[in-house]
Structure 1
Amino acid sequence: MNIIETLNAAGQQELAQHLESLTGDARANLERDILSQDWQELKALHAEKSAANLSDNVSADLTPMPWKLATDDLRYDFWKETGEILLGQGKVAAFLVAGGQGSRLGFDGPKGMFDIGLPSHKSLFQLQAERLRNLGARVGHAIPWCIMTSPLNHEATVNFFSENNFFGLNREDIRFFQQGTICALTADGKAVRDGEDHLALVPDGNGGCFRALAQSGTLAWLVERGVQYVFLYSVDNALCRICDPAFIGALAEKGTILSASKVVHKAGPNEKVGIFAFQNKKPGVVEYSDLPENFRDMTNADGSLTFDGGNIAIHLFKISGLRKLQTSKLPWHTARKTVCGIEKCFKFEQFLFDAFPQLGSMLPFGVVREEEFSPVKNAEGNDSPKTARIMIGKLHREWLRKAHVKIDEKKLYEISPTISYAGEGLKQSVFDRELGRNILEFDED
């Protein structure tokens, strides 16, 4: 079946006619976009989503997932040691989901290039790269880093790393690849065009990461390197403890469990984070927008939230789980948005957390929000650069206090990840030597 027949069979006669009216580069460009899509799948998706309620249904059989702080567990030090051994053996990689732009922050570029206003003016990418460098040096083995971009920001991201000499990391240990895209459809199921010679292709959601990892050859690259655990996280968490050894060790102890996720107490019932729960006895995440009010506001006898396990988008997968997911079909979710000036278009995306029910049992790993979760999503207010700066400053000040360093209690501190990954290695002599260089003071406002 040729390209015109394929489009006609999928109900895309208008697109087929438009393609036939083009010549030269314009036709080649549009053909390339058309060939990147599964048109029968798009036809089926439109039929399914048009007939259904656009909000995803939540089962009445919804129960909270029990979890506790990992540091309260007597096995914590053992987990940490196990994770460090695995890291030192080269069996762990980092997987960064970095396809987003910084437009909500008023920044024209990849979100990872954004400077949140720390005294060092380091970007989110640089902070993460330096944490990986420090950890790799401590365990004696470089940590492979997979970075998933999008067509919107791939070239800018790769150029930024190159211009900054990959922040001291070996280029051979970093693998860049792009997430997939899916064509937006009009309300009546017609393909949306972006100009004369392109389709309106939108990112296929963070759930497309498993498919992109495999199709790009990056999963095979990890397997060839002997990687057994992949730490997956989002670019906008300024406090992410990348490749946390204790997290890795905890999953390694669970022989048959294929995934683990970090969990925090929700800041309140209306916080816009998904919650970990069992739906029809299967573990997973319910997105905040899908959680009915009666579940959202439900409390225990002591007044605490019943559904309190907040998803902070930090996950860990065994490589066998990722190999399973490369061929698994995740459900598609739908939003109605204005695309290329056309209102109420269908935008389809897949969610990463829909993988968990397919993998079976999972391990919730409780962490303290103030130590590991400070997303940078909004220009001002909650989850903004200012809140991230303050959280980093307070956390690093606490690290210095615990190290019995004499500090100005009215100041906040930024400690470079090059000298401390999670508060280790700090003492008065280090503080005296590094103050003004790799330890910087700043004010809360």
Structure 2
Amino acid sequence: MLCPPPSGHLLFIILHRMNIIETLNAAGQQELAQHLESLTGDARANLERDILSQDWQELKALHAEKSAANLSDNVSADLTPMPWKLATDDLRYDFWKETGEILLGQGKVAAFLVAGGQGSRLGFDGPKGMFDIGLPSHKSLFQLQAERLRNLGARVGHAIPWCIMTSPLNHEATVNFFSENNFFGLNREDIRFFQQGTICALTADGKAVRDGEDHLALVPDGNGGCFRALAQSGTLAWLVERGVQYVFLYSVDNALCRICDPAFIGALAEKGTILSASKVVHKAGPNEKVGIFAFQNKKPGVVEYSDLPENFRDMTNADGSLTFDGGNIAIHLFKISGLRKLQTSKLPWHTARKTVCGIEKCFKFEQFLFDAFPQLGSMLPFGVVREEEFSPVKNAEGNDSPKTARIMIGKLHREWLRKAHVKIDEKKLYEISPTISYAGEGLKQSVFDRELGRNILEFDED
């Protein structure tokens, strides 16, 4: 007796699964294809979902390219430092600030937070943005940033859209944290959460790494994937629909980030054809692990610390200062036209050899945000003071730790009070809530007397 032909729905499933198997076989992933065929039910559906999220021909090409090449990225001998100066030394600084405030007040600026990281290096089991660095208020990094945006939005008279890029590891926890805290006083409709992309890790011989029976070992595709994620999630279209023209991009772990700095925005707005700007600080020394701004083959960009040859790293000027001293602090500003251009651009993939799911020397691929700059042409370096704007929280102890961030905030806020001629205890450090001052404005003795113990808190350095 002949079996009846499969129904339309069943036929679709059969053809769909045949297509997946053919795709894997064509990409040299026969082992994964055979494993998939052995699964049924939810396990098969889970693995199929992961498989369909990947470009297998691209992965095949990446493995072939990176296997044949030296894994360290080549830095051209034609490398020259990018000139820059402190923005506050420019006579146009106040004009830039006014221009930026006008643009913010017109709703033409959005903030873009890269927040896909976990706090594991800090001994914290959760999204890094939820981490409490130990200030007297015990506010998380997310709350400090939200309150800065809230204050600035109130000052300019317009809510500032906030795009928050998470990762599959921390998306749900991040969204729940904001919801549980009533979005820190911001309107929910002004915040857009979306996830960065992932890419499958490969073994040394190019086979897909599995995470258990029914999942691939998918790793974040790097901060350079933010442009693709911004477009594919519909967030770029959301910004365009709102009339946004400038996007301020920063990382979650900078406790001193001056989010949507009006002067920074105004400076780029003045440059008609330039599509991006980046904040720059003097490197603390040749061995500080930050990238440097430079021209490579006459194109502007960033050279990562690990890629900078030692002779360039240690090079000094006649006065003893570092030749390549323009440190990248991961604070950037893009015109929306630049972001639209980047959504279709192909950034290069960088490679690291890591242990993944217990398998040694696997290929992990990622894209770096700063590889976008050569594609955009000219860029604007905007020099800032480290002590005012850069305090990364990366390590549990020592440099770039919660303690160093607390001390830098305390000293900066004490200096704000000094400049406002407020009588303070010089032996103390101070935490000033972003709800009452964004960057030192609005402070005076009567405010200090009223807010001390509430929105202004004293603490000791130790």
Q: TM class, shorter-chain normalised?
A: over 0.9
Distance apart, 1:170 and its partner CA: 0.1
Counterpart-to-counterpart distance in 1, 2:203 and 2:428: 54
Distance apart, 1:158 and its partner CA: 0.0
Distance apart, 1:247 and its partner CA: 0.0
Distance apart, 1:19 and its partner CA: 0.1
Distance apart, 1:251 and its partner CA: 0.0
Distance apart, 1:195 and its partner CA: 0.1
Distance apart, 1:182 and its partner CA: 0.1
Question: Deviations 1:232-289 (Å, cap 9, x if unpaired)?
Answer: 0000000000000000000000000000000000000000000000000000000000
Question: Deviations 1:365-389 (Å, cap 9, x if unpaired)?
Answer: 0000000000000000000000000
The correspondence of residues 391-406 of structure 1 with structure 2, limited to 5 A, is 391-406=408-423
Distance apart, 1:176 and its partner CA: 0.1
Distance apart, 1:363 and its partner CA: 0.0
Counterpart-to-counterpart distance in 1, 2:326 and 2:79: 13
For normalisation by structure 2, the TM-score amounts to: 0.96
Q: Which runs of 5+ in 1 are unaligned?
A: none
For normalisation by structure 1, the TM-score amounts to: 1.00
The correspondence of residues 356-435 of structure 1 with structure 2, limited to 5 A, is 356-435=373-452
Counterpart-to-counterpart distance in 1, 2:314 and 2:401: 25
Query: What root-mean-square deviation, in Å, do the aligned CA atoms of Structure 1 and Structure 2 show?
Result: 0.4
Partner of 1:283: 300
Distance apart, 1:180 and its partner CA: 0.1
Counterpart-to-counterpart distance in 2, 1:197 and 1:268: 47
Distance apart, 1:330 and its partner CA: 0.1
Question: Deviations 1:1-36 (Å, cap 9, x if unpaired)?
Answer: 700000000000000000000000000000000000
Counterpart-to-counterpart distance in 1, 2:317 and 2:415: 32
Counterpart-to-counterpart distance in 2, 1:53 and 1:402: 53
Distance apart, 1:217 and its partner CA: 0.1
Distance apart, 1:208 and its partner CA: 0.1
Distance apart, 1:55 and its partner CA: 0.6
Q: SS state of the match for residue 301, structure 2?
A: strand
Counterpart-to-counterpart distance in 1, 2:294 and 2:65: 26
Question: Deviations 1:337-374 (Å, cap 9, x if unpaired)?
Answer: 00000000000000000000000000000000000000
Question: How many residues of Structure 1 are paired with residues of Structure 2 in the alignment?
Answer: 445
The correspondence of residues 146-165 of structure 1 with structure 2, limited to 5 A, is 146-165=163-182
Distance apart, 1:206 and its partner CA: 0.1
Question: Deviations 1:156-196 (Å, cap 9, x if unpaired)?
Answer: 00000000000000000000000000000000000000000
Counterpart-to-counterpart distance in 2, 1:346 and 1:289: 18
Aligned match of 2:192 in 175, 179, 183? 175
Q: Which runs of 5+ in 2 are unaligned?
A: 1-17
Distance apart, 1:408 and its partner CA: 0.1
Counterpart-to-counterpart distance in 1, 2:421 and 2:446: 11
Counterpart-to-counterpart distance in 2, 1:119 and 1:73: 36
Distance apart, 1:209 and its partner CA: 0.1
Question: Deviations 1:77-96 (Å, cap 9, x if unpaired)?
Answer: 00000000000000000000
Counterpart-to-counterpart distance in 2, 1:407 and 1:148: 40
Distance apart, 1:135 and its partner CA: 0.1
Partner of 1:342: 359
Counterpart-to-counterpart distance in 2, 1:4 and 1:318: 42
Q: SS state of the match for residue 302, structure 2?
A: strand
Distance apart, 1:419 and its partner CA: 0.1
Counterpart-to-counterpart distance in 1, 2:390 and 2:452: 26
Counterpart-to-counterpart distance in 1, 2:60 and 2:76: 27
Distance apart, 1:334 and its partner CA: 0.1
Question: Deviations 1:61-107 (Å, cap 9, x if unpaired)?
Answer: 00000000000000000000000000000000000000000000000
Counterpart-to-counterpart distance in 1, 2:72 and 2:303: 12
Distance apart, 1:410 and its partner CA: 0.1
Which protein has the larger Cα radius of gyration, Structure 1 or Structure 2? 2
Q: SS state of the match for residue 319, structure 2?
A: coil
Question: Deviations 1:206-249 (Å, cap 9, x if unpaired)?
Answer: 00000000000000000000000000000000000000000000
Partner of 2:11: none
Counterpart-to-counterpart distance in 2, 1:141 and 1:59: 45
Q: SS state of the match for residue 293, structure 2?
A: strand
Counterpart-to-counterpart distance in 2, 1:390 and 1:80: 27
Runs of 4+ in 1 over 3 A off after TM superposition: none
Q: SS state of the match for residue 190, structure 1?
A: coil
Distance apart, 1:112 and its partner CA: 0.0
Counterpart-to-counterpart distance in 2, 1:104 and 1:223: 37
Counterpart-to-counterpart distance in 2, 1:316 and 1:210: 13
Question: Deviations 1:399-429 (Å, cap 9, x if unpaired)?
Answer: 0000000000000000000000000000000
Counterpart-to-counterpart distance in 1, 2:396 and 2:66: 33
Identity among equivalent positions (%) equals: 100
Counterpart-to-counterpart distance in 2, 1:318 and 1:222: 12
Q: SS state of the match for residue 422, structure 1?
A: coil
Counterpart-to-counterpart distance in 2, 1:357 and 1:25: 45
Partner of 1:122: 139
Partner of 1:143: 160
Counterpart-to-counterpart distance in 1, 2:459 and 2:141: 18
Counterpart-to-counterpart distance in 2, 1:59 and 1:318: 29
Question: Deviations 1:304-325 (Å, cap 9, x if unpaired)?
Answer: 0000000000000000000000
Aligned match of 1:113 in 122, 127, 130? 130
Counterpart-to-counterpart distance in 2, 1:397 and 1:340: 47
